[in-house]
Amino acid sequence: MDAAGPSRAAWILIVALSSGAVSLILELSAVRLLAPWFGATSAVWTHVIGVILLALSCGYLLGARLSRGPRLLRSLGIVLWLAAASVAWLPALARPAAGALVPEGLALDQAAGVLRWGSLAAALMLFAPPSLLLGCVAPLASEVLQRRSGCTAGEAGGRVLGVSTLGSLLGSFATTYWLVPELGLTRTYLACACALGVLALTVGLLARRWGIESAAGLIVAAALLGSRWERPSPGAGCALLEQRESPYQSVRVVERQDGEVRLRFLQVNEAFDSFQSVWQPEPGLLPEGYYYNALALPAAWDARTQGRWNLLVLGLGAGSVWRVLQGTLPPELRLEGLGVEIDPVVVDCARTWMGLTESPDRRVVSGLDARAVLSMAGRFDQIVIDAYANQIEIPAQLSSREFFAEAGEHLEPGGWISANVGAFGLQDPVVEALAATAAAGLHSRVLALRVPFSRNVVLIARPSGVLPEPGSAEFLAITPARLARLGSQASLPGMWRWFEPRMEPVATDDRNPIERLQQASIELAERRTRETR
Amino acid sequence: MIGVLLIAVSSVQALQRAVGDCREGRFVEAWAAAQGAASPIERSCAETYVRYHAGDLEGALQAAETGLTLNPRDEYLNPTATELALTLRVVGSAARHLENWQRECPQTDEARCTRLRQELQGQREAESALLAAESRAKWGVLAGALLGVLGFFGLLGSHRSTSGRG
């Protein structure tokens, strides 16, 4: 055993620190890379973490096997070069890999199999190779340290694990707060590849060997020029206006002509036929099939003609609800209130492209969770919950009995609460659970209305007032005429359903099976379609 | 267009009233008018029409299918059911209704029939692509998991055998 100088030992520990950091950067950014095709649900997180853990465990064993060889530094150098190359090409490989698993133009009701198996397969294809290689680093580094410094295996392993875990800690904070929001995904991966390449180069200099290393170095260099991440295309007839990465998601604004109306859509992580917000040049009711129109029904039933309508929107997006109400409220009834949007980039895009404006009476709060803001908010005539993103990602903290109870406490006497749910009919398990939960939390019956020409259901409750019966004169005699038409469509048998306070299942903060119900909902819709083949 | 067709196949006043009410956006009244239709088949036609225009496409398809069990040769319900099934992407159902329409009503609107046939073909291709993608994903996962598990135990075993020799 030759004695290693302190500088060489330090280098080995820096290698371990960096590989630990890159492992965590990969793990945390992986879902972001896949989200445009598969969403960012708990299932996708589970698949990504599972794949990375399996690959790391194999990598540790492979590293242990390699550490038996005589040329440790060379093995370490090769592993680092290959890891750098596989990380560098991740941005470019994401679209072809995900594209092979998610056909273009897929609807959500066809997507159950793709969401489940596709996200797992994509995680395997993209993240198993770099994680396997990074797993090799720790055993090799431990062996180098032990052989050269003469310390015990436990001592060497402990030092390597200590700095590698510290690297993981740094990597996790850096990914969330700096790398992905500031650099974006492509540059994050390329920066990781460069860091690994520099370490590999240094290890190569120590080993004084060049072979596979040169080839891998060229692959990394080529990636710097050609590896770029591309999201799914916006679809035929859609013009892309802006596309950005936020700390939470990928955001884009697209525009298309719909008959005579020019519409803009704000989309987040979208590979399916869905959107988060819609804009048309004039405020008011959108064309048929957009659920925002149904969120204007409570104000019409309330029949107030002057004063103010104080509205809280949890999940403001680009402010579609505001614009729809702004154009439908009577001229003397002023729209005021608060809009909560967790993602500041969404708000920025909305200001630029979708006419979102604020005033002292109508404010936007961004960067905070809707439930946290709710606890600090005042009282409102109407609370709209439009935070069930992508129709497959319903936050558990915004779908529990306790949440609805808290929301109810922020209503003015006679106030209304309404929520949009992406679902496949009134018997959908997600609708049943959310409506029963809302009824339990608000101690009030909840009316579920299917939105005509769409796959959305709007839930409406009025805890301290009367909610009109579908088809009744109070339900139908509203203005403007197009809203009355919507009321009439929603009054047909099969378009509405009452949920009473004692119905089941009720989700709580302690036990909320909403993720499982969403998967069940998509599977049910898929089965219905396939049964008739 | 559908309204004109419906009026052509039935001169019953209740149906005309349902169509008129739908045009005016009075769907509750249109539904009530449909319930007053003279015969079950006319009622099915009217219900299909009202639900279609009210945006309840699943309900409209169900009403159309009920009507087709009463009269498989109905010239309004056959193409309407095909169109609804295509909109809802229920490919098997769309194929059945289109085939039935062509068989039972030889005097069909050829242009409409061709358009529906093309749309059906497009949806079948999309469905095949989806099934192929799903199959690729499943086999990919299976192969990856197998490789991972075999690799893990292979490497673990190789380590043990060396330790034994050591």
Q: Would you say the ipTM is above 0.90?
A: no
Residues of B in contact with A113 (CB under 8 A): 130, 134, 137
Residues of A in contact with B129 (CB under 8 A): 103
Comparison of pLDDT for B124 and B1, the residue scoring more: B124
Question: Measured between CB atoms, which of A113, A114, A121 is closest to B140?
Answer: A121
Residues of A in contact with B27 (CB under 8 A): 485, 488-489, 491-492
pTM of the predicted model as reported, rounded to 2 decimal places: 0.84
Closest CA to A44 of A346, A390, A378, A387: A390
Question: Measured between CB atoms, which of B50, B55, B126 is closest to A288?
Answer: B55
Could you give the CA distance from residue A456 to residue A460 in angstroms, rounded to a whole number?
Answer: 13
Residues of A in contact with B128 (CB under 8 A): none
Q: What is the CA radius of gyration of chain A?
A: 27
Strand-pairing partners, residue A279, are: A264
Q: What angle do CA A486, A457, A356 make, to 5 degrees?
A: 75
Q: Could you tell me if residue B100 is left (phi over 0), alpha (psi between -120 and 50 degrees) or otherwise beta?
A: alpha
Could you give the CA distance from residue A227 to residue A221 in angstroms, rounded to a whole number?
Answer: 10
pLDDT at position A150 is 80
Residues of B in contact with A117 (CB under 8 A): 134, 137-138, 141
Rounded to a whole number of angstroms, the distance from the CA of B64 to the nearest CA of chain A is 15
pLDDT at position A40 is 82
Which residue does chain A place closest to B47, by CA atoms?
A492
Rounded to a whole number of angstroms, the distance from the CA of B23 to the nearest CA of chain A is 10
What tokens does B127 get?
A: 């469905």
pLDDT at position B14 is 76
Would you call A100 and B155 a contact, using CB atoms and an 8 Å cutoff? no
For chain A positions 113-132, those within 8 Å of chain B (CB to CB) are 113-114, 117-118, 120-122, 124-125, 128
Could you give the CA distance from residue A56 to residue A134 in angstroms, rounded to a whole number?
Answer: 7
Please say whether the beta carbons of A109 and A522 come within 8 A.
yes
Please say whether the beta carbons of B19 and B3 come within 8 A.
yes
Would you call B155 and A529 a contact, using CB atoms and an 8 Å cutoff? no
Would you call B152 and A124 a contact, using CB atoms and an 8 Å cutoff? no
What tokens does A17 get?
A: 């620190």
Rounded to a whole number of angstroms, the distance from the CA of A4 to the nearest CA of chain B is 26
pLDDT(B160) > 60 = no
Which residue does chain A place closest to B128, by CA atoms?
A103
Query: A58, A132, A491: which to substitute to probe chain B, counting the most B Cβ within 10 Å?
Result: A58
What tokens does A41 get?
A: 């649900």
Question: Measured between CB atoms, which of A114, A453, A532 is closest to B90?
Answer: A532
Would you call B56 and A485 a contact, using CB atoms and an 8 Å cutoff? no
Rounded to a whole number of angstroms, the distance from the CA of A124 to the nearest CA of chain B is 7
pLDDT at position B24 is 93
pLDDT at position A5 is 56
Question: Measured between CB atoms, which of B27, B92, B93 is closest to A492?
Answer: B27
Going A369 to A372 to A374 to A377, the CA torsion angle's sign is negative
Would you call B130 and A118 a contact, using CB atoms and an 8 Å cutoff? no
Residues of B in contact with A65 (CB under 8 A): 155, 158-159
Residues of A in contact with B52 (CB under 8 A): none
Q: Is A495 on the interface with B (CB under 8 A)?
A: yes
Q: Is A62 on the interface with B (CB under 8 A)?
A: yes
Classify strands A446-450 and A496-499 as parallel, antiparallel or unpaired. antiparallel
pLDDT at position B166 is 32
Residues of B in contact with A488 (CB under 8 A): 25-28, 54
pLDDT at position A120 is 94
Chain A, chain B: beta-carbon pairs less than 8 Å apart: 126
Beta strands in A178-269 (DSSP E): 239-245, 250-258, 261-268
Rounded to a whole number of angstroms, the distance from the CA of A485 to the nearest CA of chain B is 5
pLDDT(B10) > 50 = no
Would you call A484 and B159 a contact, using CB atoms and an 8 Å cutoff? no
Could you tell me the pLDDT band of residue B8, with boundaries at 50, 70 and 90? very low
Below-50 pLDDT ranges, chain A: 1-4, 533
Could you give the C-alpha distances from A495 to A237, A352, B130, in angstroms and in order? 32, 37, 31
Could you tell me the pLDDT band of residue B49, with boundaries at 50, 70 and 90? very high
